[in-house]
């Protein structure tokens, strides 16, 4: 685990989209392929959402955008008596009936797990504009794993090496510990 973030950053979070068949009135001016994560619990029939839009010139995929939106939501969460200015950049409120939970993002693994409903999967494919591609399912798989995070890429490589039977390799084990991935080895993280 990264030494500078507390464990709450790594708690899985919901990923939502505008509900199918409903115009996203809450997202006026926000384009397709935008990632939305809820902040806190709904209140008065409305849900606060943080979001990240695709940006020209950047190759962030959907999971990367979810990670950025999650970072804003996590940074703005209440922390005891600490008084802070909230992040109002890329923040909005939506009626709860206008959003649908399509899955869960695991910040530790950098991956989105989709809800089992195939209509939600199809909705995400359409939201991302992948239905016109030759391999929408393959492209969707790539969109569900962060691509810009070295930490997540490192975790995936360590998992692959362990799955290939190299768990006794001392270099691999040392590297996993140095990078803060002791949990992949079945060990407790070091305390700073």
For 15-35, what is each residue's pLDDT tens digit?
Answer: 999 887 665 666 677 878 899
- pTM score, whole prediction: 0.74
Q: What average pLDDT does the segment 153-179 reach?
A: 79
The full DSSP string for 34-103 is -EEEEEEEEETTEEEEEEE---TT----HHHHHHHHHHHHHHTS--TT-------TTEEEEEGGGEEEEE
**What does pLDDT average to over the chain?**
80
pLDDT band at 2 (very low <50, low <70, confident <90, very high): very low
Rg (alpha carbons) of the chain, rounded to whole number: 18
pLDDT band at 84 (very low <50, low <70, confident <90, very high): low
User: Which of these ranges, 41-45, 68-72, 133-137, has the smallest mean pLDDT?
Assistant: 133-137
Residue 164 CB coordination number (10 Å): 9
pLDDT band at 177 (very low <50, low <70, confident <90, very high): confident
Higher pLDDT, 179 or 130: 130
Higher pLDDT, 83 or 97: 97
Q: What average pLDDT does the segment 125-140 reach?
A: 83
């Amino acid at each position: 685990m990264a030494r500078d973030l507390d464990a709450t950053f790594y708690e899985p979070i919901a990923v939502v989209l505008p509900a199918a068949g409903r115009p996203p009135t809450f997202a006026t001016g926000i384009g397709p392929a935008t990632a939305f994560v809820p902040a806190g619990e709904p209140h008065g029939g409305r849900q606060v959402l943080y979001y990240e839009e695709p940006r020209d010139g950047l190759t962030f995929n959907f999971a990367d955008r979810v990670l950025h939106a999650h970072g804003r939501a996590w940074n703005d969460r209440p922390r005891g008596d600490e008084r802070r200015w909230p992040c109002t950049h890329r923040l909005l409120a939506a009626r709860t009936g206008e959003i649908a939970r399509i899955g869960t993002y695991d910040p530790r693994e950098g991956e989105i797990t989709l809800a089992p409903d195939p209509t939600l999967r199809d909705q995400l494919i359409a939201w991302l504009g992948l239905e016109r591609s030759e391999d929408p399912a393959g492209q969707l798989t790539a969109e569900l794993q962060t691509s810009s995070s070295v930490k997540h890429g490192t975790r995936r490589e360590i998992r692959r090496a362990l799955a290939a039977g190299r768990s006794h390799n001392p270099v691999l084990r040392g590297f996993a510990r140095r990078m803060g991935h002791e949990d992949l080895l079945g060990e407790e993280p070091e305390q700073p």
